[in-house]
Chains A and B, each alone.
Chain A
Amino acid sequence: MTFQQILDRYDLLEVEARIAAKQPADVEAALAADHPGLDDFMALLSPAAAAYLEPMAQRAHRLTVQRFGKTILMYAPLYLSNECTNGCRYCGFNARNEVPRRTLTLDEAEAEARVLHERGFRHLLLVTGEAPKAADTDYLAAVVARIRPLFSSLSIEVYPMEEAGYRQVIAAGIDGLTLYQETYDRALYAEMHPFGKKRDFAFRLSAPEHAARAGMRRIGIGALLGLGKFRVEAFCTGLHALHLARHYWRTHLTVSFPRMRPADGGFQPLNPVSDRDFVQLICALRLLLPDAGLVLSTRESAQLRDNLLPLGITQMSAGSCTSPGGYAEKDESGRQFIIDDDRTPAEVEAMLRSRGYDPVWKDWDNAFHGR
């Protein structure tokens, strides 16, 4: 059974209606459940649950501390390329946007990596657009071979691949995958992705399963908040996570909740997600998925990130730059989006310590890969 077959069973309009129909009693039952199920999850995502944010947050906090302790894994994105053949309407890398395009050479990639290593990072997320001629799996493997000795864990956020592609990058030393579906709503997906390989909804949807079969250790999923209705998108994300956990039980899952940021191209969110909604979504996901890593990037403001910290977050980026070459050259033209929390890693580390959290820089080892 693939996740696509699961998702096909759901009519998203009906899902939205079922969530909207949840009553306070349903929310209370969900909060009392030892292991909230899908129906409970709907209740936690419902408008009725907005009145229960505090108890939801309390429970999310308890579960997270129990499972992860008061620790936050630190990571940084390294943008290798912003060349892209896709037309995602919301993205600064959209092929039709006139921004400076570049793909880092191996030397340039290493220079960026060394800056991040110097700042303390040992977990990196390598990011590209989708332009096989500029940055294919051979290129990724070459970058990994170059920078692997400096880092404990290297993940990719690139383009969906077949199982063979994932096998190749895993063999090169990649241990994690981040791949957002953007939206689980097929019609909206088609509208948002007018051209390019990314138009293929089903291929993207199945890619986390390809990666899991290839032996990827960590898989991160998520929906881009601001596109579809957040309650429905969050429900589908939870469904997706449960499916992956059940079928690929050796894979550790992470969930992100990227909220749309201003980007070159000026796209406005179709369904803006308020801070209150955002908190509800994070807590609901934690209650459904007690063991999943929950990732919070610098898309959010410093103040909000500090306050979201105890609600279930387990991983954070810091000092991020979203343009290729931006760390070493301090040139931010050609960025994907504008970050909000612009504190340095050291400042974020100090904030974490002041709030009683231990920043974890290393939580993996090259020895796992036989290196």
Chain B
Amino acid sequence: MDSLMIAGRSFRSRLMVGTGKFSSNAAMVAAMEGSGCEIVTVALRRVDVDNPHDSILAHIDREKYLLLPNTSGARDAEEAVRLARLARAAGCEPWVKLEVTPDPFYLLPDPIETLKAAEILVKDGFVVLPYINADPVLAKRLQEAGTATVMPLGAPIGTNKGVRTRDSIAIIIEQAIVPVVVDAGLGAPSHAAEAMEMGADAVLVNTALAVARDPGAMGAAFRKGVEAGREGYLAGLGRQQERAEASSPLTGFLHN
């Protein structure tokens, strides 16, 4: 079976879902269910991890979903590390989606602080999934530091622009020794399919589901996009070329 392995744990779904921006918890749950995801990321700033009745946490069935806390809002490594430790101390599994986004406008990740935080958290026993710009060298450095994945952005968070960083993501995938999860910017199921066709191991989607008229249906559409892209990748895509090529090559006569 084609499963996604992260830090020794196996997942059937290659679609991860974020929980921000939904118009209600019901819409969030519908998106999660429609998507068939098994990993759900939650901003620690939005929840009270010590409170089991927290309105978001109470809606996430921990038997069904791996809760992946994220450090959204952290401005530097120190804050991100503190947030991750807080979540672990409150009983979350030691998994963390590392986001160090000091720029509140485009929410772009700070590569220097992300690497610093990753080094500390890995040593501290965390399974670290860092959100990064599509920078192949940074991806290598993080993998050397022991992160469980790398999560390059397709486009800035919330822009729905698709895989704009395609060439760099292709290099990251080519060189990766851990799963590559394309995170941020995917606005349509076709974008998710595109990332998966390129060989990404998984994608993470949030805004596209949260702002859809029907988040549950959009979750299902993304699920199909991810599956189609993955199956296409595994089946071996024909290479693209500029010219049409006869299906009987010029040297066909040699085989006659």
Enumerate chain A interface residues (CB-CB to B < 8 A): 65-71, 152, 217, 245, 249-253, 291, 353, 356-358, 360, 362-365, 367-368, 370
Contacts and interface: CB of A to CB of B under 8 A. Distances in A.
Interface residues of B, number: 29
Contact of B104 (A65, A70, A291): A291
B23 A358 contact: yes
Given A69-B20, A69-B210, A368-B74, A363 B105 contact: no
Given A357-B23, A358-B22, A358-B24, A250 B102 contact: yes
A353 B47 CA distance: 19
Contact of B44 (A66, A70, A291, A365): A365
Given A66-B160, A249-B103, A252-B104, 17 more contacts: A65-B211, A66-B158, A69-B20, A70-B23, A217-B75, A245-B105, A249-B102, A358-B22, A358-B24, A362-B47, A362-B48, A364-B45, A365-B45, A367-B79, A367-B82, A368-B79, A368-B82
Interface in B202-230: 207, 210-211
Chain A to chain B: the 9 pairs with minimum beta-carbon distance, closest first: A69-B21, A70-B23, A252-B104, A291-B105, A367-B86, A250-B102, A356-B23, A365-B45, A69-B210
Contact of B211 (A69, A291, A358, A368): A69
Given A66-B158, A66-B211, A69-B23, A250 B44 contact: no
B94 interface: no
B83 interface: yes
B75 A367 contact: no
A71 B20 CA distance: 9
Contact of B83 (A291, A353, A367): A367
Contacts of B83: 365, 367-368
A364 B47 CA distance: 9
B188 to A, nearest CB: 14
B46 interface: yes
Contact of A363 (B24, B46, B86, B159): B46
12 contacts: A68-B21, A70-B211, A71-B21, A71-B22, A245-B105, A249-B102, A353-B24, A356-B23, A358-B22, A365-B44, A367-B83, A367-B86
Contacts of A364: 45, 73
B13 interface: no
B190 interface: no
B165 interface: no
Contacts of B106: 291
A160 B14 CA distance: 51
A252 B72 CA distance: 13
A251 to B, nearest CB: 7
B25 interface: yes
A65 B44 CA distance: 21
Nearest to B210: A69
A250 B103 contact: yes
Nearest to B74: A368
A70 B86 contact: no
A171 to B, nearest CB: 15
Nearest to A370: B82
A153 to B, nearest CB: 9
Contact of A362 (B46, B102, B210): B46
A217 B21 CA distance: 21
A253 B21 CA distance: 19
A222 to B, nearest CB: 18
Contact of A368 (B23, B73, B104, B105): B73
A199 B75 CA distance: 36
Interface in B71-121: 73-75, 79, 82-83, 86, 102-106
Contacts of B23: 69-71, 356-358
Contacts of B104: 250-253, 291
A353 B79 CA distance: 33
Contacts of B105: 245, 249, 291
B44 A69 contact: no
Contacts of B24: 353, 356, 358
Nearest to B23: A70
Contacts of B160: 66
Nearest to B101: A250
B45 A362 contact: yes
A85 B69 CA distance: 48
A70 B22 contact: yes
A67 B22 CA distance: 12
